[in-house]
Amino acid sequence: MNRKEVLNKMGITIHYNAEVKQKDKKIIPKILRFVEDCAMRYNYEYQVFRNLKGYAEHNKIFNQNNEISQEWFSFSDFSDEKADVRDEFKESGFVETDTRKNATQDCILIHNKFNGEYRSESFEVGFYLNPFNKKYSWSGFTKTQIFNEKETIPNLKFHIFIIKILEQIKLRFLPELDISDEAHFFFTEQEREENIKSWEKSLKDKTDSYHDIAEKYLKEWKIKKPYDFRELVKAHTGNLSLIKSIGGTLQGLGYKKGNIMTPVENGDVFLKQFYNKICKELGD
């Protein structure tokens, strides 16, 4: 994910993708069982799908020179579309979607429900045999952005829950699993170093479109550490200027209303206790 996407994103989202070779397919049921166990253990509502029928897509975006500028694979369970599709993009050429390949998927869908209501997008872990590259593919994203006070605690908790699951899948089963967290609650040391180099370059180049903000973000990345719950709160509130909404929720817990970035003693204690409680529940 490049800096422009990060700075202009419309909500806090966790992206994830991985591929499994056919010779390693026995690992897939183990991953799905692990995810199901986590959902059961932490009382999240979930659905399991076996051999979900649909089709695989090979999506390609072409530039004005008819060269491929982007391409990706995806699975859809809406199997009523059969033909190839090529639509003209007004801005950037063409997108071509090949929908001829039938496929099935095994997956689990975990819902972020609290008091009977959905609080965010659901989290899906699922693999299908990609007929284009002959590998088992999994890719997706979950938006945990907070849009009202009722979503505050459930969504912060769900964000950490998803990261914990992805982290464990990466450690136990799929080292090549790619995880991209727009809240930067999770990031690798390599990602941190890449951001530092990128912002240093923008700071040196006065003609760079990000030059004016480069110093700020450079300082942040030099001291930023993963798994900082306060950074997670900051990312959610700053993203859509929802400081008042979340500040109202946490007002009685030590934060001044409308200024969640300025913790007082009780608020700081609350955040540490809340984060430690969740980590204990989800397992360190």
H helical segments located in 131-210 = 152-172, 189-204
Q: Given this model, what pLDDT does residue 47 score?
A: 95
Residue pointed to by tokens 């993708």: 17
- The whole-number average pLDDT for the span 259-278 is 57
More confident residue, 235 or 274: 235
**In the predicted model, what is the mean pLDDT of the chain?**
80
- pLDDT tens figures, 198-246: 999 999 999 998 999 999 989 989 998 998 887 888 787 665 454 455 5
More confident residue, 233 or 194: 194
More confident residue, 62 or 141: 141
**282 vs 70, 96, 268, 277, CA distance in Å?**
37, 42, 21, 9
Q: Given this model, what pLDDT does residue 229 score?
A: 84
Burial class (CB in 10 A: 0-12, 13-18, 19+), 158: buried
Is the pLDDT score of 50 beyond 60?
yes
Residue 264 pLDDT grade (very low, low, confident, very high; cuts 50, 70, 90)? very low
Separation CA 51–CA 54 (nearest Å): 9
Lowest mean pLDDT among 150-154, 181-185, 190-194, 209-213: 150-154
Q: Given this model, what pLDDT does residue 219 score?
A: 93
Separation CA 75–CA 84 (nearest Å): 15
Provide the percentage of residues in the chain whose pLDDT is more than 90: 47
- Nearest residue to 138 (alpha-carbon basis) of 37, 56, 50: 56
Characterize the bridge pairing of strands 117-118 and 68-76: unpaired
Burial class (CB in 10 A: 0-12, 13-18, 19+), 168: middle
Residue 114 pLDDT grade (very low, low, confident, very high; cuts 50, 70, 90)? confident
Query: Helix or strand or coil: residue 156?
Result: helix
Residue 8 pLDDT grade (very low, low, confident, very high; cuts 50, 70, 90)? very low
- Inter-axis angle of helices 265-282 and 229-239, to 10 degrees? 110
Paired residues of 113 in beta bridges: 118
